[in-house]
Amino acid sequence: MKNNLRSPLGLLAGVLLISVPAFAHHGGSEYDTKNLVTMKGTVTEFHWANPHCQVLFEAKDDSVKGVNWAIETLAPAVLKRAGWSPETLHPGDPITITFAPSVRGTPVGMIRKVVLPTGKELTGGTIGETRPQ
Amino acid sequence: MRNFIVRFLYAPAALLIFSTVSIAQTAQSSGAPKPKAKPGAFDARDFSGVWNPAQSMQPRGQVNPIDLSGHPDPLPPFNPAGQAKYLANRKFIDAGDVLDCDPYGTARNLFTPRPFENIPARDRLLQHFEYYDNWREIWTDGRDFPGDLEPDFMGYSIGKWDGDVFVVESRGYNGKQFLTWQGFPLTESMRQTERWQRVDHDTLKIVFTFDDPKMYAKPWTITFFYKLTNWILDAHPCTISELKKYDDTVSHRDNLPGRDYKPQN
């Protein structure tokens, strides 16, 4: 599983958008923030909840087609300041999502940005001393 | 336990009752027009508002309590027991767990990269932390620590003025939380001192001193800054059900144990 995902992830590695470390809830350094990945997919679930929201989507890219990914975000409060709401995503929505993938090679990641069906782009928000978007 | 619950119930109630009263303010006539403040003017004894950590302002060479790499350098002056506890806590954190929905304690809340609101009340300063919806009371009515202090996560805090410096002394922690999210330990012996100073309109400086002889070879001090924001706090309580959902969708899928893992000493 790990090797199957690692190779396409390398090919899909995106640009480093934000140089903030992943502040993930289940550990400190489990995301590869230097090799971001961008994928197209369809939302299957969107959980607006603590400690972090979760975007689940089925990948459409040929190399990982059909894989169901779980992308965590920061907390709802942080997403709100970045322009999100509980109604931002719904099952069936086509999205393009950029995230820092898990270093374990699992279909898990930490969001950096998402392009909604409307074309609107939202970041995953920021924590620390950055002013609101 | 009862005191713990009562304190958390009292805090929101006090907010509703006293939210317009400042510890720094004297009585004001309600109908008089408020003089327009000069740009940048501020009351050095007014800490009200929503503040956000400004970690980049911390002096270099100090322990960085908000280091998101998880491997701060330098480290606090651990004694052998503290070093061992820290390594155990790191193992616990690196294994992918958090301390369920336990309140963060005061230091960890203040060193979490999330905003908090200071709400002056008649006899105390309330702090509301956004991340876990935690509350802290800093008593300003001149009281001393109670003789029968019952340890809990948020401890017991009293504040007094030293000129325009607000000196907060805290104790009564139960030692079940981390001092920072990197896993610096604390025990019931912790004596925490904070010296608050509003250095300009937008900047709050707090000098922390941590004195816990069971974990540290000597008291250690760091300086940390916070910036005033115009945010409205959007606090979310931590709930076990949401944590479990998070584990199901993220932690377990990432081959992490989530809440099933227990800390090892």
Residue B169 near residue B157 (C-beta atoms within 8 A): yes
Which of B68, B181, B254, B259 best tests the A interface by mutation, with the highest count of A CBs <10 A?
B254
Residue B68 near residue A23 (C-beta atoms within 8 A): yes
Place of tokens 């509350």: B135
Partners of B253 on chain A (C-beta within 8 Å) are: 70, 106-108
Give the rounded distance of the alpha carbon of B208 from its chain centre. Answer: 11
pLDDT at A22: 47
- Verify whether the Cβ–Cβ distance B242 to A49 is below 8 Å: yes
- Which residue numbers of A have CB closer than 8 Å to B's CBs? 20-21, 23, 25-30, 45, 47, 49-52, 54, 56, 70, 72, 75-78, 80-81, 102, 104, 106-108, 127-129, 131-132
Task: Closest CB to A21: pick one of B69, B94, B97.
Answer: B69
Residue B51 CA: distances (Å) to CA of A9, A35, A111, B47, B98: 39, 33, 25, 9, 25
ipTM beyond 0.85?
A: no
Residue B250, helix vs strand vs coil: helix
- Looking at residues B148-159, what average pLDDT do you find? 96
For B59-99, how does the pLDDT look when each residue is reduced to its tens digit (9 = 90+)?
999 999 988 776 788 999 999 999 999 999 988 887 766 65
For B163-193, how does the pLDDT look when each residue is reduced to its tens digit (9 = 90+)?
999 999 999 999 999 999 889 999 999 999 9
- Verify whether the Cβ–Cβ distance B250 to A107 is below 8 Å: no
CA-wise closest residue to B169 among B209, B135, B122: B209
pLDDT at A84: 97
Partners of A50 on chain B (C-beta within 8 Å) are: 236-239, 242-243, 246
Q: Is the dihedral of CA B92, B97, B102, B105 positive or negative?
A: positive
